[in-house]
Structure 1
Amino acid sequence: MDLEVVRCPNEATLEKLISGSFVLEDLKILRYSVKGSKGLKVRSRTLKRLHLYTGTTTSD
């Protein structure tokens, strides 16, 4: 599975997508800090590699 530019209404939705992927081995996440955002929990029995890239955004 290859997903790019995925927008989820909340962290729980993305967590369900990740944990429900039964053959997921390699996951790359580019995540921007959003004020009020909680941490993302990554749970997978098959995940072998996790690449996490973070950035920050500014609001006007």
Structure 2
Amino acid sequence: SEVQEVVEVVNAAKLITEVVTAATTQLIPAAEPVVSAVSTPISAAKPKGLKAVPAA
């Protein structure tokens, strides 16, 4: 009957909505970037000696 078909369609729509909601909820935490705690040494150039220039 038509009523039974409508009930089946509504139930299928609810199931699809639940699956999509569950999948979206699981994907959100995975989308957050992970910041690693590894430190990268940065070598700074040694400053060269400055020469004093007398004011003119």
Task: Specify the TM-score bucket, using the shorter chain as the normaliser.
Answer: under 0.3
Which one has a bigger Cα radius of gyration?
2
Between Structure 1 and Structure 2, the one with more helix by share is 2
Structure possessing the higher relative contact order (Cα contacts under 8 Å, 6 or more residues apart) = 1
Decide which structure has greater strand share.
Answer: 1
